[in-house]
Chain A
Amino acid sequence: MHKQILKLYVTGRTGRSERAIAALKKINGEELGGQYEIVIIDVLEHPKLARNEKIIATPTLIKELPPPMRRIIGDLSDTDRVLLGLDLTAAAASDDQGDE
């Protein structure tokens, strides 16, 4: 089966970047059964990709498929909120998200 992609935009190899990368790998492995391919994009190396995707803050996690497209900003330190935010759990309660 074709693997779906989670894109994580980071700025350089900072502590915040590393925390987000580790958290995402952990969530993918432990909660999502490793079904996603994780792509790490450093905006310092690929600023044009950031421009095309309109990435302002880092880390930013983007899930395009399955729809709806989701965008999560931050170091992903709260697994439950990340899962809710990605809208990947069937019982996603919407009251806990979108509090910008």
Chain B
Amino acid sequence: MGKTLPIVEKMKTGIPGLDDIAIGGLPKGRATLVSGTAGSGKTVLAAQFLAQGIEMGHSGVFVTFEESPEDIRRNLAGFGWDVQQWEDEGKWIFVDASPSPGERPIIVGDYDLGALAAQIADAVNEISAERVVLDSLGAIFGRLPDPSILRYELFRIASALRKFGVTTIITSERTEEYGAVARHGVEEFVADNVMILRQVLEEEKCRRTIQVLKFRGTVHKKGEYPFTVLPREGIVVIPLSSIELKQKSSAVRITSGNAVLDDICGGGYFRDSIILVSGATGTGKTLMVNEFIAGGQREGERCLIFAFEESREQLFRNAIGWGIDFELMEKEGKLQVVCVYPESESLEDHLITMKESINDFQPNRLAVDSLSALERVSTMKGFREFVIGLTSFIKHRETAGLFTSTSPSLMGGTSITESHISTITDSIILLRYVEIFGEMRRGLTVLKMRGSMHEKGIREFTIDGNGMHVREPFKNVTGIFSGHLVYTQQAEMDRISDILTGRRGD
């Protein structure tokens, strides 16, 4: 007790998101095994480890057992990495242990991998490499006999790399997504640190995840995290919960764009909060987005809209109808409207591109209309991860986010979106149709307002050319939001008295 253990230093990989889940990076000076089925992204991850290293001034050695250096150069060019140039500059060396076409070595007697070890040592020395990649071990087991020799020799190479102090990624195949860590049984004892890449089909959609299985002597995040492989960037890991914890909340209020609604919420929305507006089609969700943006405009704030249901033209026309000139706002640089088809990309990719837009535009207010449209292109789990990823990203930036969600039934009930993400959002506003004595009216209630008092009643609201008008609470009717209205005796009398006195207004 009380003795300080040697601390395992970490080396930042530079791969977006990976250093978050690996809490600082890979164990420095050690080997990490990256295991995954065919096509799970092992080679990209390994190569990206070297590529990002070069950007940080670390040179690297790529030992390839499988693909030829030419193939690798060509494949990596698609990610914007010019390996040939790095080779010319002495930042990257290939040790080519890939099979030569048509050549089958003849084995007579005992052998070792001394030449491979010597080549790696020489390459590391030549460019003072700090990073080494071995990709992938499985390929050498297919070519040389006697796994026991290979196991022993690979163990020796791993020990030598450790002596050099280089940080190493070793990739290896596995045959099942949830089974033994790797084939051949060698890999686990070669590396104290293991990461697993998976590609799982869920509800007909492919979902890629990365998991840090173990880091000997140091910490990492547990569980699987989604990642995506982007054409010009390579692997981007979405570190979900690791960022969620760091959110701070502020007491600063901003206007919802509607004075009455501000009152109901106890003085407006919170600056760093996420507001979910849920309602059936036509209840006024997009109008609430408009009001939210208009509120931002009056305050001179920057607003960003992601529209997944309507085209630009539709949005702009609707806004004009309510007296808000999006076109003018865009010209003034105060607004950006991004219209995307939900089906155009996977949800992981949507998240990345949305983050990029947010980073570029730096909005004070952000609206997503609608979140439920994105539900179509993902699994439930993937969708939940997307919402967590997006909300945590927004909350870091002192940006208020308004998300809309379409509920399936006109009168009451909740949508799947709501039930899955309601715990993530700070405030929930429900919009519903209310049938009162054969007349369709609209009701609004603030269901939840984290960290604040708010009015609990159900308000009637109307929509006209000037936007949204929030009125008096419905009286003497219960069960509005469950969709099962029950009128109390008083209701009929009130209605009559309302009509007689004209209190119901327009």
Identify the A interface with B (CB < 8 A): 9-12, 16, 19-20, 43-44, 47-48, 50-51, 54-60, 70-78, 81-82, 85, 97-100
Q: Report whether A58 and B114 are in contact in the complex, using a CB–CB cutoff of 8 Å.
A: yes
Identify the B interface with A (CB < 8 A): 95-97, 100, 103-119, 121-123, 140, 143-145
* New contact pairs (15) apart from A56-B116, A58-B115, CB-CB < 8 Å: A11-B114, A16-B110, A43-B114, A47-B118, A47-B119, A50-B119, A51-B119, A57-B116, A58-B113, A60-B111, A60-B115, A71-B105, A72-B105, A85-B108, A100-B145
Q: Report whether B118 and A75 are in contact in the complex, using a CB–CB cutoff of 8 Å.
A: no
Which B residue's beta carbon lies closest to that of A16? Answer: B110
Which A residue's beta carbon lies closest to that of B150? Answer: A57
Chain A neighbourhood of B96, CB < 8 A: 51, 54
Which B residue's beta carbon lies closest to that of A71? Answer: B105
Chain A neighbourhood of B110, CB < 8 A: 16, 19, 74-75, 77
Which of A74, A81, A99 touches B111 (beta carbons < 8 Å)?
Answer: A74
15 A–B contacts, CB within 8 A, in A order: A11-B117, A11-B118, A16-B111, A51-B95, A57-B114, A58-B111, A59-B111, A70-B106, A72-B106, A74-B107, A78-B109, A81-B106, A82-B108, A99-B107, A100-B107
Chain A neighbourhood of B95, CB < 8 A: 51
Kindly state the separation between the CA atoms of A70 and B102 in the bound complex, as whole angstroms.
11
Kindly state the separation between the CA atoms of A75 and B111 in the bound complex, as whole angstroms.
6
Q: Report whether B109 and A11 are in contact in the complex, using a CB–CB cutoff of 8 Å.
A: no
Q: Report whether A54 and B107 are in contact in the complex, using a CB–CB cutoff of 8 Å.
A: no
Chain B neighbourhood of A81, CB < 8 A: 106, 108
Kindly state the separation between the CA atoms of A76 and B111 in the bound complex, as whole angstroms.
9
Q: Report whether A54 and B114 are in contact in the complex, using a CB–CB cutoff of 8 Å.
A: no
Q: Report whether B106 and A73 are in contact in the complex, using a CB–CB cutoff of 8 Å.
A: yes
Which B residue's beta carbon lies closest to that of A81? Answer: B108
Chain A neighbourhood of B100, CB < 8 A: 54
Kindly state the separation between the CA atoms of A10 and B106 in the bound complex, as whole angstroms.
16
Looking at B95, B107, B115, the one whose CB has the most chain A CB atoms below 10 A away is B115
Which of B109, B112, B144 touches A76 (beta carbons < 8 Å)?
Answer: B109
Q: How far is the CB of B330 from chain A (nearest CB, A)?
A: 58
Q: How far is the CB of B113 from chain A (nearest CB, A)?
A: 6
Kindly state the separation between the CA atoms of A48 and B108 in the bound complex, as whole angstroms.
25
Chain B neighbourhood of A57, CB < 8 A: 105, 111-116, 144
Q: How far is the CB of B409 from chain A (nearest CB, A)?
A: 65
Q: Report whether B104 and A100 are in contact in the complex, using a CB–CB cutoff of 8 Å.
A: yes
Chain A neighbourhood of B106, CB < 8 A: 70-73, 81, 85, 97-98
Q: How far is the CB of B270 from chain A (nearest CB, A)?
A: 62
Kindly state the separation between the CA atoms of A57 and B152 in the bound complex, as whole angstroms.
13
Chain A neighbourhood of B143, CB < 8 A: 100
